[in-house]
Structure 1
Amino acid sequence: MDRDQHPVLRFHGATRCVTGSCYEIETPHWRLLIDCGLFQGSKSERELNYGAFPFSPDAIDAVILTHAHIDHSGLLPKLVKLGFLGPIYATAATIDLCSVMLPDAAHIQETEVDYLNRRNAQRGRPLVEPIYRQEDAAACMHLFRAAEYGDWTTAAQGLRFRFWNAGHLLGSSSVELEIDGGGRSPMRIVFSGDIGPGHKLLQTDPQGPSAVDYLVCEATYGSRDRPDVSPDRRRWMLGDVVRGAARANGPLIIPSFAVERTQELLVDLHLLMQAGEVPRAPIFVDSPLATRASAIFQRHANEIENGDVLRQALISAELRFTDTVEQSKAINRLTGFFVVIAASGMCDAGRIRHHLKANLWRKNATVMMAGYQVQGSLGRILLDGARRVRIQGEEIEVRANVTLFDLYSA
């Protein structure tokens, strides 16, 4: 490959932050994106989602998506809204998850913008538009094309790729690109996506090729060692939190990502209750997205480890999926010990906010953050020891036991 024919790689996200993953690769013949993710976290980071892309969406020939997490997929509807018409390649399981996650992301944006615009109208401020709407998410889904692990797929002239199981999320992949060398050996580049970790309850160990020319690797935890905790040890430690909440005779509120984190929690809670290690109690999954995602996990259970246990957990007598807002509100009229799992995982949107509003002031309530909380999120503010927080316009005193259980991170 001639010097002036070398691909150009640009980083448009997930640099000096952990969200908004987006890589652009350009040659004289094509322009490709690996991922197109939403920025999450602080207000300044979230504002990046409203800016113009640093490229013309209609100039992109194809997108290859590593996995369905919103910080990797969440700006795809905006990309389509602004003119992208090419294929979006992903595994079949990733496409299934995106079919519920992207419309949900659009719904959250529409809901938050409607609320903000009501306040803006009262204060004489200009109205704002959501980043994209549900119709943009629906249009985006028509562009997805499924590719299997290990199968080479031609994406453009002189470019082919294949997926490797990244062991991170149902359908997650590392991407191996092979770029034609123009008479010389082809250039091989691997984008890891997000990897592992190896002890994931519902995933196989990460896989990948060898002897590549370039490796672009995630480094979210590159500056520190991850705790080496087996699923059995993690379950035992979770049991301590559950027993503490039961002794307090109050609710255990778990803000959780709807996809995979919730399903792993359900498996562990099911096994703990089945073994008699914690009291049996109702487990409410109060997230329409988590309900739909659980059905997708059940459909793909043969592709993941512990798929049979997952199926059992999803039909257990203790589990209740709530659907309507009225059912959600009714949960907080209960007394005694019960478990609520609700999105979002960092407490910044979704039904978890009204559960926090209803329970943070209770001394007998336990709030267990089930993963990393980015700076600026409500979850981080609570973990940092705030005694009062503002939720949905009201100031709430924090008297509940707030704890971090960061052993489910993918």
Structure 2
Amino acid sequence: MTMTLQCLGATGEVTGSCHLLELNGAQLLLDCGLIQGGKKDELRNQDPFAFDPHTLTAVVLSHAHIDHSGRLPLLMKRGYDGPIYTQKATAELCAFMLRDAASLQQRQVERENEKRLKQDLPPLAPLFDDQDVDNVLRHFVPLEYGVRFEPVPGISVCLSDAGHILGSAMLELWLDDGCCQKKLVFSGDLGRAGMPILRDPTLIDAADLVLMESTYGDRSHRSWQATLEELKAIFAKAISESRGNILIPAFSVGRAQELLYLFHLYAKEWDLGRWQVCLDSPMAIEATKVYVRNYPLMDDDFRRFVQLNPGNHPLLGNVQFIQSTEESKALNHIHQGLIIIAGSGMCNGGRIRSHLAHNLFRPECDIIICGFQARGTPGRLLVDGATELTVHGESVPVNALIHTVGGLSAHADQQELLHWYQHFNNSPPLLLVHGEATAQETLQQVLRQQGAAEVVIVNLADKLDLTQLPRLAWLN
């Protein structure tokens, strides 16, 4: 009899989420995300999986963000042919997010192959293509929150709202090997209480083991009110000084919709009538449509707002949707009065790159960074004070004013992570994943000071014998 958990991604870093459960020979994979960051980090996506995809029984996906879903096409390309269980809104979002990832892979390989041709090196192939994505989408099994199902004999699962993005889920897993029963809870990416649009993260009472993200384990976000005041001040200063454009690199799913909602709610107070708000991201536009369709999943305030304002949906007004490449390029000829929301959120791809090339060197422009920036990404360089940035192969001086607005983060901060974990009865053993070393070490220390029974920072490929819980018995 076997009952094991092996952590195969998002260990010591915040991308590449991937965890393998095995029960009596059957294997269940939790997430299969892309590794993001610098070029060396992303090359690791080409490595073989640490398991045989042919023998995998099922996959459960926590949410649609590419660092959790982005290697699913590669998984199927390398032999997996089973179901992918996930919340229904996540399935809708993945339909275009994975296509966008395939397109990005193709463009990156084309650029790299131009260099390799000059060096007389053989061409590379993309990790996956549109056909691989089509194959993945046929295997999705859309589910509602709160429905218990059995993807693998002996393992039943229930998805609960994680409050991170639309459709995001934390996973409750009950394992029974015929001799003992254990319960594992995987947080996925935890959202924050009191944020706009989405419901608060679900609180869970019982577990024998908790697997928890730790992205912001070393810090607290600004309060929501302070964040609103910070944004108001940025816009007020830009208006009073007749400054140039404002660029907001934003994740297409979650952050973009949150910004649209805020701009709708505070249009008058922030004097946004002076600005043309542009959502320059076909993927964010598609995601916005999914948010509109999945209205029942929103929090009470959002649903009430929609009901009281028929025909004036808060995600569809006061914004220009930029679809075509030609429309996007035209924005680069406008030097003042634009608020441009564009992907990618870490500035490592997408249309924001072009807008940075045309605005970053201008001291009258503002760049608002409003999400986590992984190590090695251009966004992280800007946050860390880079004086120049390479964009499309050319060095661009950083003269624009850089603002880091952490209060908009969709990830729980240290206090919110503590609150979520402390709701469990009897302080179950806790494994920390999906965080960088400083964040994890700080959170581990605070948890221990507050009486957590056992808190472990997981290393890549660490494997745990779950039958020995509550004692942590490592198999390697």
TM-score between the two structures when normalised by the length of structure 1? 0.94
Verify: 1:354 aligned to 2:354, yes or no. Answer: yes
1:285 aligned residue: 279
Compare 262-271 and 174-183 and name the one that shifted more: 174-183
SS at structure 2 position matched to 1:85: coil
Among 176, 179, 182, the alignment partner of 2:178 is 182
2-structure distance, mates of 1:238, 1:123: 48
1-structure distance, mates of 2:71, 2:179: 37
Alignment check: 8 A CA contact 2:86 2:141 kept = yes
2:313 aligned residue: 312
Verify: 1:255 aligned to 2:249, yes or no. Answer: yes
SS at structure 2 position matched to 1:312: coil
1-structure distance, mates of 2:252, 2:37: 17
SS at structure 2 position matched to 1:245: helix
Residue by residue, what CA displacement relative to the aligned partner does 1:147-203 show, whole Å, maximum 9, x if unpaired?
22111112122221111111111111111111224155x321111111121132121
Cα deviation for residue 278 of structure 1 reads 4.3
Cα deviation for residue 29 of structure 1 reads 3.7
* Paired AA for residue 276 in structure 2: P
Q: What does residue range 155-234 of structure 1 map to in structure 2 within 5 Å?
A: 155-182=151-178, 184=180, 186-222=181-217, 224-227=218-221, 229-230=223-224, 232-234=225-227
Q: What does residue range 8-407 of structure 1 map to in structure 2 within 5 Å?
A: 8-182=4-178, 184=180, 186-222=181-217, 224-227=218-221, 229-230=223-224, 232-246=225-239, 247-275=241-269, 277-305=271-299, 306-308=301-303, 309=305, 312-316=313-317, 318-407=318-407
Cα deviation for residue 83 of structure 1 reads 0.9
Is the alpha carbon distance of 1:395 and 1:209 closer, same or farther for their aligned partners in structure 2, counting shifts above 3 Å? closer
Alignment check: 8 A CA contact 2:279 2:342 kept = yes
1-structure distance, mates of 2:245, 2:353: 15
Compare 261-270 and 119-128 and name the one that shifted more: 119-128
Cα deviation for residue 386 of structure 1 reads 2.5
Alignment check: 8 A CA contact 2:222 2:407 kept = no
SS at structure 1 position matched to 2:73: helix
Is the alpha carbon distance of 1:278 and 1:327 closer, same or farther for their aligned partners in structure 2, counting shifts above 3 Å? closer
Cα deviation for residue 227 of structure 1 reads 2.1
* Paired AA for residue 207 in structure 1: T
Structure ranking higher on relative contact order (CA contacts 8 Å, 6+ apart)? 2
* Paired AA for residue 10 in structure 2: A
Compare 98-107 and 298-307 and name the one that shifted more: 298-307
Structure 2 unaligned blocks of 5 or more: 307-311, 411-476
Alignment check: 8 A CA contact 1:347 1:353 kept = yes
Is the alpha carbon distance of 1:28 and 1:183 closer, same or farther for their aligned partners in structure 2, counting shifts above 3 Å? closer
2-structure distance, mates of 1:115, 1:181: 50
Compare 172-181 and 239-248 and name the one that shifted more: 239-248
Cα deviation for residue 276 of structure 1 reads 5.1
* Paired AA for residue 193 in structure 2: G
Verify: 1:408 aligned to 2:408, yes or no. Answer: yes
Is the alpha carbon distance of 1:54 and 1:236 closer, same or farther for their aligned partners in structure 2, counting shifts above 3 Å? same
Cα deviation for residue 383 of structure 1 reads 2.6
Structure 1 unaligned blocks of 5 or more: none
Alignment check: 8 A CA contact 1:168 1:200 kept = no
Is the alpha carbon distance of 1:15 and 1:276 closer, same or farther for their aligned partners in structure 2, counting shifts above 3 Å? closer
Alignment check: 8 A CA contact 2:235 2:270 kept = no
SS at structure 2 position matched to 1:25: strand
* Paired AA for residue 363 in structure 1: P
* Paired AA for residue 313 in structure 1: P
1-structure distance, mates of 2:23, 2:177: 12
Compare 339-348 and 22-31 and name the one that shifted more: 22-31
* Paired AA for residue 233 in structure 2: D
Residue by residue, what CA displacement relative to the aligned partner does 1:49-86 show, whole Å, maximum 9, x if unpaired?
11110111111100001111111111111001111111
Is the alpha carbon distance of 1:244 and 1:125 closer, same or farther for their aligned partners in structure 2, counting shifts above 3 Å? farther
* Paired AA for residue 322 in structure 2: T
Cα deviation for residue 213 of structure 1 reads 1.5
* Paired AA for residue 230 in structure 2: M
2-structure distance, mates of 1:177, 1:276: 45
Alignment check: 8 A CA contact 1:57 1:80 kept = yes
* Paired AA for residue 236 in structure 2: R
SS at structure 1 position matched to 2:238: helix
Cα deviation for residue 44 of structure 1 reads 2.6
Aligned pair count reads 402
TM-score between the two structures when normalised by the length of structure 2? 0.81
Is the alpha carbon distance of 1:276 and 1:40 closer, same or farther for their aligned partners in structure 2, counting shifts above 3 Å? closer
Compare 268-277 and 292-301 and name the one that shifted more: 268-277
* Paired AA for residue 179 in structure 1: L
Is the alpha carbon distance of 1:390 and 1:14 closer, same or farther for their aligned partners in structure 2, counting shifts above 3 Å? same
2-structure distance, mates of 1:45, 1:6: 33
